[in-house]
Amino acid sequence: MACANANAADIDEDKVERQLGHLVSVFPETDPEFLHRKVIEFADKEAEFAAWIDATLEKGVDDLPTRKDYEKRLKVIVIIVLLLQSHASYLTNGVSKFLFFTFFSL
């Protein structure tokens, strides 16, 4: 996930993972995708990143997206993927049957 503030090629993925792990431990009830975006946003701005963390701790996390919302989103995505796979399988089987019967009806 690249951000306008950071070039994707310049981002150290190990550093991102470490910082994300730190943020998740500090804000365990916050959406980890949101936290990941914050890590990317502040990739080369450590002082601003620390200031954001301090300000967020000071004002509280009530305005941040929640982990529960993230988990609900994941469930919806899983359901959509399963439905799409099921639909694709149905279409594939239907097309195969159509081709089979069309070929052998000739």
Residue 10 has pLDDT above 90, yes or no: no
pLDDT surpassing 70 at residue 97: no
Give the CA diameter of the chain: 76
Which residue(s) pair with 6 in the sheet?
A: 3
Q: For residues 102 and 39, which has the higher predicted lDDT (pLDDT)?
A: 39
Reported pTM: 0.65
Q: How much is the average pLDDT of 64-75? A: 91
Residues 37 and 6: their CA atoms lie apart, in Å, by 11
Write down the residue that tokens 């982990």 correspond to: 67
Worst-scoring range by mean pLDDT, 14-18, 71-75, 85-89? 85-89
Place 5 in a pLDDT band, splitting at 50, 70 and 90.
Answer: very low
